[in-house]
Structure 1
Amino acid sequence: MPNRKLYAGAKLRELRTRLGLTQKDFAGKLGISLPYLNQMENNNRPVSTTVVLGLAQEFGLDVTELSSGDTERLVSDMREALADPVFAEDSPPLADLRLAASNAPALARAFLDLHRAYRQTHERLASLDEALGHEGRATPSPWEEVRDFFHYCDNYIDAVDRAAERFAGQAQGDLAQHTERVLEGMGVQIRHAAGEGVRHYDRASRTLTLSPRAAPETQRFQLLHQYALLAQSQLLEATLDLARFQTDTAREIARIGMANYFAGAVLMPYTRFAEAADETRHDLERMSIQFGASIEQIAHRLSTLQRPGAKGVPFFFARVDQAGTVTKRHSATRLQFARFGGACPLWNVHQAFETPGRFLRQLAETPDGIRYVILARDVSKSGGAWGTPTRRFAISLGCELRHAPKLVYADGLDLDRDEAFQPIGISCRICERAHCHQRSVPPLERQLTVDPDHRGTLPYQIGG
């Protein structure tokens, strides 16, 4: 795949504004003309190598921050939305979508919000939902709103992450015992007793109850979660204020997400965790033992190592249930997940349910020609007692092929043989592969031919 030119006008304007510099001063420090800077900020010209070097040398910028991660996410989301039949057959070319995502990201997000509102209204009408009688404009569900918030901030919240790292550094002895002492010093009573749920906090008596049936790492995580809600409330509220959620429900969901983020960042402090990832070559089991965390927690944390100036390997992370529904998702790579519908059935994460306790490896290639090393594993969770239901999930963790030498799971794989790479997609609705044997629905951007006298793998042929 040829390298695309780097258009990063929005990033340049954001950096200049953050530094409090005028265009003239900024251009002078970079050693370029004012018109040249103006053209780059408006995406009329790509960012040159000279400017990239100047940003690194003059301002200490991690040049990977100029990458078009947000742009690619928006482009992927818009392509999927525009595949909706409501837009008929004339979909804007990919180049136009990239221009819109680069030059007018706020407009692109507004378009996605509008399409989501349309889909919700359409689905209510189709199912005769009770919401037919509700008044007011359609809004994204609180869950979707929070999911998109974390999605577009690269699943990394710097202020919360650094506060968690400081707390971990202050811990004396066992982390759980240290946290209990801190909470008790705040007047919180801690007890371990079986009951409904894993954690319960009684505000009136200031009593925190943890279930002894939960795994030790789960109890430790829930202890830190409660500490975050009580002792880090100002930090969490300030971060939530910046997010500007549309509903109180979304804000409450995000508060839980922030507390979870803090707890995970305490258990796996950024700097020490990143160093361990390099030393073990991202061996999830070794890191699980080292940090006293579950395999899922380790995998999720690896996908958040996006601190400016100290970024780790960019991973995508997802958790799916047995129906193929993606219940958690994040991508620091060019691979993006479908916003609607299930995950690609050719993805090895679906097979993980068949081999509990084992890691599955996969070499895969997406329709854009990008190749990945993908790891999948069942992470089903027992209810902790006889007769209680088991929550069945599987996780997937992957990175682009160029990072394979840093991944212990890539050892022994035939990375140079084209046939070793499984063709996977994002969503059947926008996947361009014409001969996929697992296709569930035809691509909405392509013409179909139906021949009653011929039947191949599919009951139709996909045109160009």
Structure 2
Amino acid sequence: MSQGPQKLYAGAKIREVRQRLKLTQREFSERLGVSLPYANQMENNHRPVSAAVVLRLASEFGLDVTELSAGESERLVSDMREAVADPVFSDPPPVADLRLAASNAPALARAFLELHRAYRQVHERLAGLDEALGREGQILVSPWEEVRDFFHYCDNYIDAVDRAAERFATAGEPLPPFERAVRALAARGYEVQLAEIDDLRRLEDHRILISARAAPATRAFQLLTQVALLTHHELIEATLDLARFQSETARAIAKLGLANYFAGAALLPYRLFLERARETRHDLERLADLFGASIEQVAHRLSTLQRPGAKGIPFYFVRVDQAGTITKRHSAARLQFARFGGACPLWNVHQAFETPGRFLRQLAETPDGVRYLCIAREVSKPGGAFHAPIQRYAIGLGCEVSHARGLVYADDMEIGNPRAYAPIGISCRICERRECHQRSVPPLERRLSLAPARRGILPYEIA
């Protein structure tokens, strides 16, 4: 299936730019050099944005044209497709309608997703005979999901925190991250000690204990997280205020998430890391060695390089456990992940558990015809003692094949051969593939045909 050029519809973003500048549509169209009807049609997504208009937006208004990307719109469409595949919707709306909603009314689309998420949680609580209502009769919304969506719709890039971490990591004389953190904390009156403790990190008055059993990359990350909490408290709190979380629990989870974000950005400072990533052709092992980081830290950081005007390759990043449950997910690419349940079983991230310590490569194509280079690897987190538990995960990293030449992992792969691409999907409930031998449930957007006299790979046929 060919991908073909995609038309750019960015009505919501264009309208936002015009309103921010306090211009009428007529004034805006005159400065863009287009007719008033054309400007109106672009804002309402009735006409795509032409290349000439994109260039004019950049030259006339200084707009970073990468902001016109359909990234958020595609995420909304993917999330809504999964939501309307819920059996509660007997007649799901067509994808074209979902795209219109995501492009023209993104706030309404997000409100719909919030409502559906709340419904699912109440339904699950009732099914388990658990409490479905809060103390004041309000629906309980999962704080974890709320925070995860906050990062998801920020492209997993928090500019103010990222730049603060970069300034911290590059100011003054060059120092290893752990030593830099020790000095910064000592200046605030805190003493850092390596100790035989079960926790990774513990704050006791003005003493910070770091597990001596942890790997060096983990020690540095945990100490930098403590730096964020103790020395960048005001910045984190201001960011939390802007997010307006619904509960104190969600705010507390997000606070730790922002501190972790700072730690990752300080361990792998933006501009230097982006430069080294390009030089090494995104070789995860070389980058891990250069920065004293873990493979997972490097892979996750690559998926956050979305600074306006200095963006890296748009990667997706995902982590799954041995049951196939997604424990971390983010995508700066068009590929999105199921919000509920596991990932597609045909995806190589599941096979990584069978080959610990090795990178698996896969060329894959999603039902929309977009092709990807997918990398997967099993990662283990030993506890540092015989009786300590070992955490095992598989991580997946990938990008569209148009960027694949910038990755060392594309070497010797048959990128130009359509037959080399494995058919993968997002969730069986919304996947349109008719012949998938690993399908777990039928798609809810298609009629089924049952023939008792014959049996194929599946017990039904998809019309």
What is the match of residue 235 of structure 1? 235
Q: C-alpha deviations, 1:362-401, integer Å up to 9, x for none?
A: 0101111111000000111101111211101010000001
Distance apart, 1:59 and its partner CA: 3.1
Distance apart, 1:34 and its partner CA: 4.1
What is the match of residue 155 of structure 2? 154
What is the match of residue 127 of structure 1? 128
What is the match of residue 113 of structure 1? 114
Cα RMSD of the aligned pairs, angstroms, is 1.5
- Distance in 1 between residues matched to 2:350 and 2:195, nearest whole Å: 36
What is the match of residue 304 of structure 1? 304
Paired-residue identity, %: 69
The code of the aligned residue for 2:38 comes to Y
Q: Which runs of 5+ in 1 are unaligned?
A: none
| Contact 1:125 1:132 survives alignment (8 Å) | no
**Structure 1 position 368 matched with structure 2 position 371:** no
Change (3 A) 1:437 1:306: same
- Map 1:7-156 to 2 at 5 A: 7-19=9-21, 21-88=23-90, 90-131=91-132, 135-156=136-157
The code of the aligned residue for 2:458 comes to L
Change (3 A) 1:206 1:130: same
Q: C-alpha deviations, 1:249-305, integer Å up to 9, x for none?
A: 111111111011111111111111111111000000000011111000000000001
The code of the aligned residue for 2:286 comes to R
| Contact 1:61 1:309 survives alignment (8 Å) | no
Distance apart, 1:134 and its partner CA: 5.6
- Distance in 2 between residues matched to 1:261 and 1:167, nearest whole Å: 13
- Distance in 1 between residues matched to 2:447 and 2:416, nearest whole Å: 35
The code of the aligned residue for 1:248 comes to E
Q: C-alpha deviations, 1:113-169, integer Å up to 9, x for none?
A: 111111111111222224468652224300000000000010001111111111111
What is the match of residue 202 of structure 2? 200
Distance apart, 1:306 and its partner CA: 0.5
What TM-score results when the alignment is normalised by the length of structure 1?
Answer: 0.96
The code of the aligned residue for 2:457 comes to T
Q: C-alpha deviations, 1:57-104, integer Å up to 9, x for none?
A: 22333322101111111111111111111110x221211111111111
What TM-score results when the alignment is normalised by the length of structure 2?
Answer: 0.96
Distance apart, 1:27 and its partner CA: 3.2
The code of the aligned residue for 1:194 comes to E
**Match among 8, 21, 25 for residue 6 of structure 1:** 8
Larger deviation, residues 281-290 vs 410-419 = 410-419
- Distance in 1 between residues matched to 2:166 and 2:183, nearest whole Å: 18
- Map 1:346-357 to 2 at 5 A: 346-357=346-357
**What is the number of equivalent residue pairs in this alignment?**
460
DSSP 3-state at the match of 2:367: coil
| Contact 1:192 1:210 survives alignment (8 Å) | yes
- Distance in 1 between residues matched to 2:11 and 2:191, nearest whole Å: 53
What is the match of residue 341 of structure 1? 341
- Distance in 2 between residues matched to 1:444 and 1:245, nearest whole Å: 33
- Map 1:59-458 to 2 at 5 A: 59-88=61-90, 90-131=91-132, 135-172=136-173, 173-202=175-204, 205-458=205-458
Change (3 A) 1:291 1:133: closer
Change (3 A) 1:220 1:133: closer
| Contact 1:318 1:330 survives alignment (8 Å) | yes
- Distance in 2 between residues matched to 1:313 and 1:174, nearest whole Å: 27
Change (3 A) 1:416 1:39: closer
Q: C-alpha deviations, 1:318-343, integer Å up to 9, x for none?
A: 00000000100000111100011111
Distance apart, 1:450 and its partner CA: 2.0
Larger deviation, residues 54-63 vs 114-123 = 54-63
The code of the aligned residue for 2:180 comes to H
| Contact 2:166 2:266 survives alignment (8 Å) | yes
Q: Which runs of 5+ in 2 are unaligned?
A: none
Larger deviation, residues 47-56 vs 402-411 = 47-56
- Distance in 2 between residues matched to 1:453 and 1:99, nearest whole Å: 43
The code of the aligned residue for 1:455 comes to R
| Contact 2:132 2:140 survives alignment (8 Å) | no
The code of the aligned residue for 1:342 comes to G
The code of the aligned residue for 1:159 comes to A
Distance apart, 1:25 and its partner CA: 4.3
| Contact 1:23 1:34 survives alignment (8 Å) | yes
| Contact 1:224 1:263 survives alignment (8 Å) | yes
The code of the aligned residue for 1:410 comes to A
The code of the aligned residue for 1:441 comes to V
- Distance in 2 between residues matched to 1:268 and 1:59, nearest whole Å: 32
